[in-house]
Amino acid sequence: MRFFGESIVLAALIAAGLSQAQVLINELSFGHSGRLGAGDGKIPHFTIAGQPNQPELLSNKVILTPMDPGNQRSSIWSDSPLTRSTWVADVDFRASGPDRAGGNLNIWFVRRGREEVGTNSVYTAGKFDGLALVIDTHGGAGGMIRGFLNDGNVDYVSQPNVDKLAFGQCNYFYRNLGRPSQLKLRQTVSSFKVEIDGHLCFETDKVSLPAGYHFGITAATPDKPDSFEVFKLVVMSDSTVSGDNSQQYGSRHQQPDHNQAQQGQQNKNDGVGNTIPDRPAEVYKTSMEQFQDLHNRLQSVSHQITGVYNSVSKHHQMDEARHDEMKKAFDSLRHELAAIRQIGDLQSKIKELETEIHSMHHDMRQKLATHGETVEANLHQHHRHLTAALTDSIPGHGKLMFFFVGTQILLVAGYVVYKRRRANSPKKYL
């Protein structure tokens, strides 16, 4: 019966490992139950601070900065660090205020946040080790979400232009929406992703945040402030291995026994862990030996399931990347086909226009030819009528010649008569 019960436990563990369900980390979360705090002005497992006034803690939200007065700084920091290597953090916030008001909300994941950052924003923080996610009206736009990283060596407050240090960003209009906005930070084995209201803001595979850091939220406002309200911070993880026990971060861990050392060597050789060889039941003489063997086998199964899940996650991410690439390629092809279709329609319209122009040209030529023939006929008829009229109005050449000759004869005859009369007249002498 004992081995039957152990088989049930093993099957349950395998099923849980295969499902990789997200598990709430209660000591790093608040607001998930619908209420904040226990009515004493405090949030369990968190420290609240503010300058010059403390944030106002209500039953369902915490008001980090009120609408009046301005120049307020507030913070919420987790008392415990996150010890998981993969996790998801959800932050519900709301910002409201009059026109031309301002301020910034900062989501932190840093090593010593309460001591290194306190109530500062990314613009006034010094040397911090970790991540800062800033929501503000950067550059006069409607709103922007930007991510900043620091390894503890860069003094942000002394930087002349902090904006250039952002490694990821997206535009997001967050003011006066009338509803909370949901910001999600997701750390997987191969990438870091930021989502807002269910849409991707930015993602990178070059950022891997280690375990052992604290979550925090800070807000800062100028003279004319926005009111920043936080409804919840929920941190969940599907990782079965604590980051403190992982060699990835160089943390210290206890000295293992011989079997665990042998298993660790096997894990190092094959990457996901080898199956422990079967041994007869007579070998285990005591309950401690049986428990130790069961513990080692369960631990080996857990490592193998984690390795399989990591591989499946990587393949899933690769499939998503290929799907996105194919989708972009199809979209580009669709745009090109649409452009080709538009070119074909344009060519058809040009051909139709060319046909219409040819038809118009032919009609114009016919009309011009007809008009020319009509004008020519009219001119010919007019010239004929004019010639006839001139012929009828001008006298003939014979009559004209007779008139000139007759006139000359008359003149000569008159002259002769004159001469004769003058010759026959008596001469007068003085």
- Write the pLDDT tens digit of every residue in 384-397: 888 777 766 665 56
What is the reported pLDDT for 304? 81
pLDDT level of residue 29 (50, 70, 90 thresholds): very high
For the chain, percent of residues with pLDDT exceeding 90: 39
Residues 92 and 181 in one domain: yes
Instruction: Find the CATH number of the domain harbouring 112.
Output: 2.60.120.200
Residues 103 and 216 in one domain: yes
- The answer to the question of residue 378 being in a domain is no
pLDDT reading at 96 higher than 90: yes
Average pLDDT over residues 30-59: 86
Give the CA radius of gyration of the chain.
Answer: 52
Residues 303 and 230 in one domain: no
Number of structural domains, the chain?
Answer: 2
pLDDT reading at 176 higher than 90: yes
- The answer to the question of residue 421 being in a domain is no
Residues 158 and 37 in one domain: yes
Q: Calculate the alpha carbon distances from 23 to 89, 121, 212, 409 in Å.
A: 12, 30, 18, 150
pLDDT digits (tens, 9 = 90+) for 119-155: 999 999 989 999 999 999 987 778 999 999 999 999 9
Comparing 1-5, 274-278, 325-329, the range with the smallest average pLDDT is 1-5
Residues 213 and 313 in one domain: no
Round the average pLDDT of the chain to a whole number and report it.
81
Report the C-alpha gap between 394 and 373 in whole angstroms.
Answer: 32
Average pLDDT over residues 21-47: 84
- The answer to the question of residue 227 being in a domain is yes
Residues 202 and 105 in one domain: yes
Residues 50 and 199 in one domain: yes
- Which string of b and e fits 58-84 if b means at least 16 CB within 10 Å? eeebbbbbbbeebebbbbbbbeebbbb
- The answer to the question of residue 424 being in a domain is no
What is the reported pLDDT for 257? 40
Place of tokens 């003279």: 223
Q: Select from 338, 363, 388 the last residue of a domain.
A: 363
- The answer to the question of residue 55 being in a domain is yes
Residues 230 and 94 in one domain: yes
- The answer to the question of residue 126 being in a domain is yes
Task: Note down the domain range covering 304.
Answer: 294-363
What is the reported pLDDT for 239? 67
What is the reported pLDDT for 138? 82
Report the C-alpha gap between 271 and 265 in whole angstroms.
Answer: 10
pLDDT reading at 101 higher than 50: yes
- The answer to the question of residue 416 being in a domain is no
Residues 196 and 326 in one domain: no
Q: Select from 208, 237, 266 the last residue of a domain.
A: 237
- Locate 96 and state its tokens: 């409201």
Q: Select from 318, 348, 363 the last residue of a domain.
A: 363
What is the reported pLDDT for 333? 87
Q: Calculate the alpha carbon distances from 286 to 281, 282, 290, 295, 341 in Å.
A: 11, 10, 7, 14, 81
* DSSP H/E element including 127: none
pLDDT level of residue 248 (50, 70, 90 thresholds): very low
pLDDT digits (tens, 9 = 90+) for 300-318: 788 888 888 888 877 887 8
Report the C-alpha gap between 131 and 309 in whole angstroms.
Answer: 26
Residues 37 and 139 in one domain: yes
What is the reported pLDDT for 427? 57
Residues 75 and 191 in one domain: yes
Average pLDDT over residues 169-196: 94
- Locate 23 and state its tokens: 């598990």
Q: How many Å separate Cα 347 from the centre of its chain? A: 35
pLDDT digits (tens, 9 = 90+) for 319-330: 888 888 888 888
- The answer to the question of residue 140 being in a domain is yes
pLDDT reading at 228 higher than 70: yes
What is the reported pLDDT for 261? 38
* CA-closest candidate to residue 138, choices 167, 165, 109, 172: 172
Report the C-alpha gap between 244 and 219 in whole angstroms.
Answer: 30
Average pLDDT over residues 29-52: 85
pLDDT level of residue 204 (50, 70, 90 thresholds): very high
pLDDT reading at 189 higher than 60: yes
What is the reported pLDDT for 244? 46
Report the C-alpha gap between 138 and 13 in whole angstroms.
Answer: 48
Residues 69 and 204 in one domain: yes
